[in-house]
């Protein structure tokens, strides 16, 4: 049913007919006319795609809960002649955390987990007088150094063995008192979810979210990616001199909760609409719970550089980041795996969303969403991409 809703929304967006929200959805107003800023956005994206460091890019803008702009440009592999489409699968990387956070919210609502409970010692043990709760783990309040032992995962060590070694790591702050982004520690949520449901984590994720929501082509892991009819090859290397498609296999498949999903543009559009509440699938109390700011992320704020002209405070919720953009509350996440990138940015109050996927290492693409926000709000000239586009 939801697939039919997605198809209808995309078709009506293309011909300019407003779509009414479902009865159980957020009370956003249907859009009456196509926003003027979309023509400028298309011009900016075309200029970006002329940069030799870009290979393939798919993106969409949602207004009042409906897609009003779809962009697909480039190739699945450089020189292949095979275009990327709305159905092409890309790595979602850390956007996968938004799925895990949502899954936790649903399991909490069903009474299967209590997020205020302490993470079991056999799953994760840290230094200090107390251990993190599930909520603190999901919102990166462990006190561990950022990205602790990610390199060991990349070297082939098992996540469970690495998690055991975290007990010997000195903390930067007591548990619960500061934000430090994690992948390995975050993956400790997988055995917790498995115990709560009696099913493998991949199975729970597939059944409770991918299948239940009707995501058209979402999948988990390298094998599922390469089995797709259309999938984007990675193009790695920030200083590369030419674009050569690489191997999509990654050790991060071992921690699907943090970085294991594959998504198409159509998947990401529907995921955004479900999170906005304009397509059914998530109870409103669950959406409020997972989008609530839990952890002030001062490290994240400092890393924004010039973007701090627009963004004030930043936080982390249950698998989601939360930004204050000039008084607007944005719920968002980005993802990176070598040769792939992903973005999802939502303003739940207005039903706005921006989503994008690409298949090359480049600095340029990370500035897509601020460009959209500038053009949409008039808070700036939308020139964030310009500094990286080669003449």
**Reported confidence tier of residue 12, pLDDT bands at 50, 70, 90:** very low
Q: Give Cα 113 distance to the centre of its chain.
A: 23
**What's the number of CA atoms in the CB half-sphere (13 Å) around residue 276?**
33
Indicate if the pLDDT at residue 314 is higher than 70.
yes
pLDDT of residue 28: 62
Both tokens of 126, joined, read: 């840290």
Q: For 137-164, b where at least 16 C-beta lie within 10 A, e where not — what string?
A: bbbbbbbbeeebbbebbeeebebeebbe
pLDDT digits (tens, 9 = 90+) for 257-290: 999 999 999 999 999 999 999 999 999 999 999 9
Q: At a CB cut-off of 8 Å and minimum separation 6, what does 134 contact? A: 104, 113, 114, 115, 116, 117, 118, 119, 189, 192
Q: How confident is the model at residue 29 (pLDDT cuts 50, 70, 90)?
A: low
Per DSSP, 231 falls in state B
Q: What class, spelled out in words, does domain 2-103+198-377 have in CATH? A: alpha beta
3-class DSSP state of 215: coil
Q: How confident is the model at residue 75 (pLDDT cuts 50, 70, 90)?
A: very high
If one compares 7 and 100, the residue with the highest pLDDT of the two is 100
Residue 324 has pLDDT above 50, yes or no: yes
Q: 169-204, pLDDT tens digit by residue?
A: 999 999 999 999 999 999 999 999 999 999 999 999
pLDDT band at 386 (very low <50, low <70, confident <90, very high): confident
Write the DSSP assignment of 45-100 as a string of letters. HHHHHTSTT--EEEEEEEETTEEEEEEEEEBSSTTS--B--TT-BEE-GGGHHHHH
Q: Residues 34-67: pLDDT tens digits?
A: 899 999 999 999 999 999 999 999 999 999 999 9
What distances in angstroms separate CA 374 from CA 251, 370, 371, 384, 385, one per listed residue? 36, 6, 5, 9, 11
Say yes or no to pLDDT of 126 above 90.
yes
Question: Strand 328-337 and strand 321-325: pairing?
Answer: antiparallel
Unique residue bearing structure tokens 């956003």: 28
Give the pTM: 0.92
Eight-state DSSP code of residue 208: I
Q: Which residue has the higher pLDDT, 25 or 134?
A: 134
Please answer whether residues 63 and 89 qualify as being in contact, where contact means their C-beta atoms are separated by less than 8 angstroms: no
Domain limits, the chain: 2-103+198-377
Q: Is the model's pLDDT at 18 over the cut of 60?
A: no
Contact, 196 vs 113, CB < 8 A?
yes
pLDDT for the residue 14: 31
| Mean pLDDT score across all residues of the chain | 92
Q: What is the pLDDT of residue 387?
A: 78
């Amino acid at each position: 049913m939801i697939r039919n809703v997605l198809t209808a929304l995309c078709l009506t967006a293309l011909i300019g007919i407003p779509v009414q929200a479902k009865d159980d959805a957020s009370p956003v107003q249907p859009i009456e006319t196509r926003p003027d800023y979309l023509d400028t956005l298309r011009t900016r994206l075309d200029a970006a795609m002329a940069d030799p460091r870009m290979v393939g890019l798919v993106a969409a803008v949602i207004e009042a809960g409906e897609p009003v702009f779809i962009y697909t440009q480039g190739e699945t592999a450089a020189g292949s002649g095979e275009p990327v489409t709305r159905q092409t699968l890309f790595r979602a990387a850390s956007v996968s955390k938004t799925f895990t956070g949502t899954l936790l919210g649903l399991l909490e609502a069903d009474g299967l987990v209590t997020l205020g409970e302490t993470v079991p010692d056999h799953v994760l043990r840290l230094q200090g007088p107390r251990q993190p709760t599930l909520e603190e783990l999901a919102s990166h309040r462990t006190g561990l150094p950022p990205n602790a032992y990610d390199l060991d995962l990349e070297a082939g060590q098992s996540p469970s063995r690495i998690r055991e070694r975290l007990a010997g790591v000195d903390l930067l702050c007591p548990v619960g008192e500061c934000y430090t982004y994690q992948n390995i520690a975050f993956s400790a949520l997988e055995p917790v979810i498995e115990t709560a449901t009696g099913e493998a984590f991949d199975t729970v994720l597939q059944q409770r979210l991918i299948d239940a929501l009707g995501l058209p082509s979402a999948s988990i892991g390298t094998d599922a990616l390469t089995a797709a009819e259309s999938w984007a090859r990675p193009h790695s290397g920030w200083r590369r001199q030419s674009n050569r498609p690489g191997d999509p296999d990654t050790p991060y498949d071992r921690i699907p909760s943090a970085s294991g999903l594959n998504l198409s543009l159509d998947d990401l559009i529907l995921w955004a609409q479900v999170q906005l509440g304009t397509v059914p699938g998530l109870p409103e109390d669950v959406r409020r719970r997972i989008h609530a700011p839990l952890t002030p992320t001062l490290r994240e704020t400092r890393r924004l550089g010039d973007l701090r002209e627009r963004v004030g405070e930043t936080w982390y919720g249950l698998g989601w980041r939360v930004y204050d953009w000039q008084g607007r509350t944005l719920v968002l996440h980005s993802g990176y795996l070598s040769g792939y990138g992903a973005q999802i940015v939502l303003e739940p109050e207005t039903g706005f969303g921006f989503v994008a996927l690409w298949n090359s290492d480049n600095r340029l693409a990370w500035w897509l969403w601020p460009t959209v926000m500038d053009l949409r709000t008039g808070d700036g000239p939308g020139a964030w991409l310009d500094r990286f586009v080669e003449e």
